[in-house]
Structure 1
Amino acid sequence: MRTLLITGPGGAGRTTVAAATALAAARQGTRTLVLSADPTDTLGAALGTPTGPRPTEAAPHLTAWRPDPATAFRADLTALQDRATTALDLLGATRLDPEELTPLPGAAELALLRALRDAALAADAHDLLVVDLPPAPHAVALLGLPEELRRYLRRLLPPERQAARALRPVLGRLAGVPMPAEWLYEKAARWDVELAAAEAVLADRDTVVRLVAEPSPAGLDAVRATTLGLALRGLRTDVLVANRVFAEPTADTRLAGVVAQQRKAVDEWRETYDVHSVDHLGRDPRGTDDLTALTVPPAPTPRRGPTTEWAVTDRIAEDGVLVWHIPLPGAVRDDLDLIRRGDELVVTAGPFRRIVPLPSALRRCTVSGAGLRDGELRIRFTPDPGLWPTGR
């Protein structure tokens, strides 16, 4: 199953473009599922069919789904309370009833990731998954959430410690403190599997990210920042949709200024991106007729190769170093920061940060320098004589 992730600045029309793209694919006979986490049914308004927590047939070959974060949040927290009954009773805590639970910030993102995982597990039911992501930069944070949460779980509850569960009561008596219960490790293992499934969808070569933005100075800045955040996560866009573009010049001097501004922004985008312009209809698109009138780009074909390659080149014979190449289009040298911490590298690019494990060869090296050239960060590693094979 191909997966198309659509995001862009808030108010740029990304939900409308997602709906139009899904509808166009469905009308070509592609079994399509369009997924959105918008709490207000913007997707349903665009399709002309209300959407909700149950998948709905919006058109032939087109299914729309808007998962309910409140239901998933109540179910998860209630289950957690049931498993922690003993601890809660010892603390004298009062249990929360499901009816009084209100989703906390982040519940919508977790619900969307779970729906993304469920859709991937039922991949035989659809050929194309179109996901209406939250506005950037929230979408960038969401795309990095599975990796970050899995890292937290591994640090807080290392899987290898579960192997010593037979010794846990003895260790608890010796240490004088209660040890983590078996159910906690089991829950962490289930979370890890679920997060790994979502992470696999995002890393799949048939998954692409598409940006939607209005051509304007603010749109230029937003696209540049979002592209940088996606690249740091190992993703890049296949098409940049310049939305709500006025097709013809006008005698209205006020509108003529907007048209000229849009043309300038589109021309600047074309120097870097594959740009597809969508004309302004003169109204907010509503219903399948309006969506069909939008000339959105087609869904990507399989194997477009969306992931950026973080390649390691061997330059030991020439310069005595290994070089790690990290594509970061739009990065500024003064906004970059690198920290080596054990077998991990902390990379900061502008407002974005990612902690990545070093490839095995680089773990036996020391960082000897870094430079930014042509939108690519190149980190030099010198082999550690105490760890590097002597015959190398």
Structure 2
Amino acid sequence: MRIILVTGPGGAGRTTVAAATALAAARAGRRVVLVSAEADAVLGDVPEGLDVLRPDAGGDFRREFLALQERSAAALDLLGAAPFEDAELTELPGSTEFALLRALRDAAAGGHELVVADLPPLPEAIALLALPEQLRRYLRRLLPPERQAARALRPMLAQLAGVPMPAQWLYETAARWEAELAAVQDVVDAPDTAVRLVAEPGPAAADALRTARLGLALHGLRVERLVANRVLPAGSPDPWLAAWAERQHAGLDELRAAYGSVHPLPHLGREPRGPEDLAALGLPDEPAADPRLLPAPRSAVDEPDGPGGVLTWRLPVPGAAKQDLALVRRGDELLLGVGPFRRVLPLAPVLRRCTVSGAALVDGELRIRFTPDPELWPKGAVPPVRTP
């Protein structure tokens, strides 16, 4: 199963390209599901052979809130709180993002050959895809799973510490959230998951894509295709349209120079509506990915150069400049900033017993050097290498 995540700058036509991608695959005889809250306006009547999964932010929020309220009913009764009813609940900010992630997880488990997801604009899409990893880290920090194992001792520990211990329902809720977030993260991190970027060619798009590429690489997300949308034909007799087309084609040349091949989609002279308009865009079922767009799929640690030798952790950051990078070690974690994006990376066990001895940006990779700490390694021992 393949998963294509479609995103791009706001107004670039992400939903149109996502719908056209799913439609082309369905017409080629593949089992396809399109995850989108807005595709109905583009597709019209959904063609046979194409499934559409529409995230329901309101229903999803009410269901989760009421379930949490039910699990904490005993505590709420002690506080004298009046419970909410379904009809009076309206979703809070962030509900849309959680509903989309759950829909993506459900679509991936639905037995289709291809999942196409219509994501929010950049950089909101990057923040969305990074959310499962971030929330799992917060849960593990606030409610470490190993503490749940001591639940039989909790009354005694509460007496010794003089403070109340977290209730069992809280751990159960955290464990359920952890399982759901892990399932979503598995979908995002899967080897067959890739991002399809959509943009209208021009200086603004080039800047947005350059920044987005850094954020996608930081979170290990592959870009498999760059689609240039609403491209005007050259040679128009109208001076205004000719000048606009000339600017667009200059922008296309800039994108090709930076990213390799670009797949252009024509401007139809109207907003595409319905299957026939989407088919007229000419988006093939599965265009081949350009290897120049793809960062290294995973970071890696090089073998040390002999006993006590330096280990090098290589992290792909294509297109980054030295001034874009920020690096801080905090305990067993590495805080890495790339442009406006930041990620907290856990250190592999072998690197936790080393000190950071330097870093360099080489050929689109951040290479961080670690020197084994002599107080933590036996003299002459060669640290075993494990890829993070």
Q: TM-score range by the shorter chain?
A: over 0.9
Take 1:27 and 1:111, find their aligned partners in 2: how far apart are those partners?
28
Take 1:221 and 1:65, find their aligned partners in 2: how far apart are those partners?
32
Q: Among residues 37, 41, 44, which one is paired with 2:40 in the alignment?
A: 44
Matches within 5 A, 1:346-357: 346-357=335-346
Is 2:106 the partner of 1:118?
A: yes
TM-score of the aligned structures, taking structure 1 as reference length: 0.92
Instruction: State the Cα deviation string for residues 53-88 of structure 1 (Å, max 9, x = none).
Output: xxxxx2222111112111110111111111212222
Percent of matched pairs sharing the same residue: 60
Matches within 5 A, 1:1-392: 1-36=1-36, 38=37, 41=38, 43-49=39-45, 58-122=46-110, 124=111, 126-273=112-259, 274-299=261-286, 308-317=297-306, 320-390=309-379, 391-392=381-382
For residue 293 of structure 1, what is the amino acid of its counterpart? A
Task: Give 3-state SS (helix, strand or coil) of 1:154's partner.
Answer: helix
Take 2:150 and 2:164, find their aligned partners in 1: how far apart are those partners?
14
Instruction: State the Cα deviation string for residues 283-322 of structure 1 (Å, max 9, x = none).
Output: 10000000000122433689x9886221111243499311
Contact persistence 1:212–1:242 (CA under 8 A):
yes
| Displacement after TM superposition at 1:384 (Å) | 0.9
Task: Give 3-state SS (helix, strand or coil) of 2:98's partner.
Answer: helix
| Displacement after TM superposition at 1:138 (Å) | 0.5
CA shift in 2, pair 1:321/1:189, >3 Å: same
For residue 44 of structure 2, what is the amino acid of its counterpart? G
Task: Give 3-state SS (helix, strand or coil) of 2:242's partner.
Answer: helix
TM-score of the aligned structures, taking structure 2 as reference length: 0.93
Contact persistence 1:208–1:306 (CA under 8 A):
no
Deviates more, 1:270-279 or 1:285-294: 270-279
| Displacement after TM superposition at 1:360 (Å) | 2.3
| Displacement after TM superposition at 1:117 (Å) | 1.4
Take 1:389 and 1:297, find their aligned partners in 2: how far apart are those partners?
58
Task: Give 3-state SS (helix, strand or coil) of 1:104's partner.
Answer: coil
CA shift in 2, pair 1:226/1:177, >3 Å: same
Contact persistence 2:3–2:194 (CA under 8 A):
yes
Take 1:131 and 1:79, find their aligned partners in 2: how far apart are those partners?
27
Take 2:26 and 2:297, find their aligned partners in 1: how far apart are those partners?
29
Take 1:298 and 1:306, find their aligned partners in 2: how far apart are those partners?
23
Contact persistence 2:357–2:369 (CA under 8 A):
yes
Contact persistence 2:28–2:285 (CA under 8 A):
no
Contact persistence 1:243–1:277 (CA under 8 A):
yes
For residue 213 of structure 1, what is the amino acid of its counterpart? A
| Displacement after TM superposition at 1:95 (Å) | 2.1
| Displacement after TM superposition at 1:181 (Å) | 1.2
Instruction: State the Cα deviation string for residues 328-374 of structure 1 (Å, max 9, x = none).
Output: 12222112111101111010111100001112221111111111223
Task: Give 3-state SS (helix, strand or coil) of 1:46's partner.
Answer: helix
Task: Give 3-state SS (helix, strand or coil) of 2:249's partner.
Answer: helix
Instruction: State the Cα deviation string for residues 79-108 of structure 1 (Å, max 9, x = none).
Output: 111121222233333322222211111111
CA shift in 2, pair 1:143/1:375, >3 Å: same
Deviates more, 1:240-249 or 1:264-273: 264-273
Task: Give 3-state SS (helix, strand or coil) of 1:277's partner.
Answer: strand
Take 1:297 and 1:342, find their aligned partners in 2: how far apart are those partners?
48
CA shift in 2, pair 1:202/1:301, >3 Å: farther
Contact persistence 1:366–1:383 (CA under 8 A):
yes
CA shift in 2, pair 1:25/1:387, >3 Å: same
Contact persistence 2:296–2:316 (CA under 8 A):
no
Residue equivalent to 1:54: none
CA shift in 2, pair 1:166/1:296, >3 Å: same
Contact persistence 1:365–1:384 (CA under 8 A):
yes
| Displacement after TM superposition at 1:248 (Å) | 2.2
Take 1:79 and 1:181, find their aligned partners in 2: how far apart are those partners?
16
Take 2:308 and 2:277, find their aligned partners in 1: how far apart are those partners?
59
Deviates more, 1:367-376 or 1:235-244: 367-376
Q: What count of residue pairs does the alignment treat as equivalent?
A: 377
Contact persistence 2:295–2:316 (CA under 8 A):
no
Q: Give the root-mean-square deviation of aligned CA atoms.
A: 1.9
For residue 277 of structure 1, what is the amino acid of its counterpart? P
Take 1:313 and 1:225, find their aligned partners in 2: how far apart are those partners?
28
For residue 116 of structure 1, what is the amino acid of its counterpart? L
Task: Give 3-state SS (helix, strand or coil) of 1:15's partner.
Answer: helix
Take 1:133 and 1:139, find their aligned partners in 2: how far apart are those partners?
6
